[in-house]
Amino acid sequence: MNPQPSATPAEPQLELGLVWLRRDLRLQDHAALHHALRRCRRVQLVFVFDTDILQPLLEQAIRADRRVLFIRQSLLELDAGLRLHGSALRVLHGRATQMLPELARRLGAGAVFVNRDYEPQAVRRDAAVAGELAGARIEWHAFHDQLMLAPDALRTGQGRPYGVFTPYRNAWLARMRADGGAGLAAFDCELDASRLLPAPCAPPPIPELAQLGFDQPVALPAEVEPGSRGARRAWEAFKPRLDGYATARDFPALDATSGLSVHLRFGTIGVRELARHAWQAMQAGSAGAASWLSELIWRDFHAQVLHHHPRLAQGRSFRPEYDRIRWDDAPQLLQAWREGRTGYPLVDAAMRELSRSGRMHNRLRMVVASFLCKDLGLDWRLGEQHFARWLLDFDLASNNGGWQWASSSGCDAQPWFRIFNPVEQSRKFDPQGHYIRRHVAELAGLDAASIHAPWLAAPEALRAADVRLGQDYPLPVVDHAQARQRTLQRYAVVRGDAARAAEAGAAAPSGQEPPRQGGLF
């Protein structure tokens, strides 16, 4: 579990320590900051707008990105908190592998403190920075903070990493019961002016978006307030809804999910606090809390899968046999999916919301992903890339895990025959069509019986709603029943492996809802 602070503070051993912020943009319950305050007489917090991360976006002509705006506004709040204590956040713009060691040398820091980032590229970056610091005799201290359990914390009985979620969750919960939730204890980060490096007389301002090479994007969605203050408000608003989460979470028209995924992605709130509350509520009998905690465990699960299988970040299937599948080359279908013009209202509503706000409900992520792979016959990697471009809460491990789940190539006991019916999903999870009407305005006049499949609607219902199919709203780009048959044929190259899994008891009974893919809240 997490290394927890001792009851008495240690005597500071270093004059100055830098705390390098990355996916942990907060001043509370922060492992690296906690240990820096214990080890150092003075602490300076630093953030780097890393051009190794930003430049690929700019090279793709992505000049407006809500995530960069979210980060910058969160940094402004964090800086304001430090200024209350006479310090200031140092924000750099350049290659982190160069700028962080340079700053440490210039300030005379004795150590750099970080919270570990487990993504493959981040691991390589941190190794390069640690090497540079070692050459200057500057210590490097990395701590577990981003997840509830570190990726190496749990192993199967054979000593291998987990590749199926349910056994991983069971082991996670067993670990929690064994230590009584001690691993979720908070890290104390009490700040005062005497422990922080004083701000210079004229501290440089946090770079504007234009200085980073970005245009001002459309404003963040009204539901998303950046920074720890926004995270705190979202968390407090969700707590009264937690008990009902298990039954309400799948209905996108309801305000039933936490809205905290973006805050967990950028660390404006710590996952330990959320899990601790959910664990305690589950112990008190809350089914909703148990369901939501399972979602948090999905996040840990996806991270440990990517950590142990970094090849997944290079577009490789978790199940190698699925790399034999031949996908269609249909740019027009891909563009229709991206723009929400498939003729399937629930799919189109979800894709339009994504492009307009950067948000998408978890149930709908599963629906649109299944539609891309198993109705349109397109490579799941194309969808993974599109989500990586647009999702405000984009997380490499969860995104990859979700898309591989949808294509049946990932960590899943359900193989190739799981194919979502987009119309049935619409009728089941948006029965009155409220979500569709919110995002597909041209169908707003249709009644609840007609809105899920307008091409089946009576002519008088279409006339009454002023909908002309093929003009105001597209006809379906594929027939689902025919597409399903093509998918079963496409997956023939792996059906032998899948059939053996089914015979071993992995398949769900006919008609049963397949296991939920989680980690996206």
Q: Which residue has the higher pLDDT, 336 or 496?
A: 336
Residue 429 in tokens: 């999870």
Task: Give the end of a domain, one of 263, 292, 308.
Answer: 308
pLDDT tens, position by position, 136-158: 999 999 999 999 999 999 999 99
Does 328 fall in a domain?
yes
pLDDT tens, position by position, 412-421: 756 667 899 9
Q: Give 73's Cβ-side CA count (13 Å radius).
A: 19
Q: Does 161 share its domain with 134?
A: no
Cβ partners under 8 Å of residue 71, min gap 6: 25, 49, 226, 266
Query: Where residue 164 sits, what CATH number does that domain have?
Result: 1.25.40.80
Q: Give 332's Cβ-side CA count (13 Å radius).
A: 2
Gap between the Cα atoms of 437 and 94, Å rounded: 44
Q: Give 158's Cβ-side CA count (13 Å radius).
A: 5
Does 212 fall in a domain?
no
Q: Does 24 share its domain with 130?
A: yes
Q: Does 175 share its domain with 87?
A: no
Q: Max alpha carbon distance in the chain (Å)?
A: 80
Has 362 been annotated as catalytic? yes
Give whole-number Cα distances, 478 to 50, 326, 380, in Å.
43, 18, 17
Contact criterion met (CB below 8 Å) for 109 and 18: yes
pLDDT tens, position by position, 378-406: 999 999 999 999 999 999 999 999 999 99
Does 271 fall in a domain?
yes
Residue 16 in tokens: 């100055």
Does 327 fall in a domain?
yes
Has 119 been annotated as catalytic? no
Identified catalytic residue from 235, 327, 421, 455: 327
Identified catalytic residue from 20, 172, 337, 403: 403
User: Residue 6 pLDDT > 50, yes or no?
Assistant: no
Does 196 fall in a domain?
no
Per-residue confidence (pLDDT) for residue 8, from 0 to 100: 46
Per-residue confidence (pLDDT) for residue 64, from 0 to 100: 87
> What is the mean predicted confidence (pLDDT) over 15-28?
98
pLDDT tens, position by position, 453-491: 999 999 999 999 999 999 999 999 999 999 999 999 999
Domain coverage including residue 407: 314-503
Cβ partners under 8 Å of residue 400, min gap 6: 302, 306, 312, 313, 384, 410
Does 198 fall in a domain?
no
Query: Where residue 472 sits, what CATH number does that domain have?
Result: 1.10.579.10
Identified catalytic residue from 298, 337, 390, 416: 298
Identified catalytic residue from 362, 384, 390, 442: 362
Q: Does 162 share its domain with 58?
A: no
Bridge partner residues of 114 (DSSP): 142
Has 416 been annotated as catalytic? no
Contact criterion met (CB below 8 Å) for 47 and 24: no
Query: Where residue 118 sits, what CATH number does that domain have?
Result: 3.40.50.620
Q: Name the phi and psi angles at 435, rounded to 5.
A: -65, -40
Q: Does 108 share its domain with 123?
A: yes
Q: What percent of the chain has pLDDT over 90?
A: 85
Q: Based on the structure, what is the number of domains in the chain?
A: 3
pLDDT tens, position by position, 272-282: 999 999 999 99
Per-residue confidence (pLDDT) for residue 507, from 0 to 100: 35
Contact criterion met (CB below 8 Å) for 310 and 118: no
Determine the Cα angle at 514 with ends 511 and 518, to 5°.
Answer: 160
Please report which confidence band the pLDDT of residue 183 belongs to, taking 50, 70 and 90 as the band edges.
confident
Contact criterion met (CB below 8 Å) for 371 and 333: no
Residue type, 493: V
Q: Does 344 share its domain with 419?
A: yes
**Class of residue 232 by CB neighbours under 10 A (exposed 0-12, middle 13-18, buried 19+):** middle
Q: Does 278 share its domain with 351?
A: no
Identified catalytic residue from 20, 292, 337, 380: 380
Does 224 fall in a domain?
no
Q: Does 134 share its domain with 153?
A: no
Q: What percent of the chain has pLDDT over 70?
A: 92
Distance of CA 214 to the CA centre of its chain: 22
Task: Give the end of a domain, one of 308, 343, 358.
Answer: 308
Has 455 been annotated as catalytic? no
Gap between the Cα atoms of 142 and 122, Å rounded: 13
Does 197 fall in a domain?
no
Gap between the Cα atoms of 171 and 424, Å rounded: 34
pLDDT tens, position by position, 210-256: 999 998 877 899 999 999 999 999 999 999 999 999 999 999 999 99
Has 235 been annotated as catalytic? no
Has 295 been annotated as catalytic? yes
Q: Does 128 share its domain with 152?
A: no
User: Residue 505 pLDDT > 50, yes or no?
Assistant: no
Task: Give the end of a domain, one of 289, 308, 327.
Answer: 308
Q: Does 477 share its domain with 341?
A: yes
Q: Does 465 share its domain with 373?
A: yes
Gap between the Cα atoms of 214 and 208, Å rounded: 9
Distance of CA 138 to the CA centre of its chain: 33
Q: Does 132 share its domain with 255?
A: no
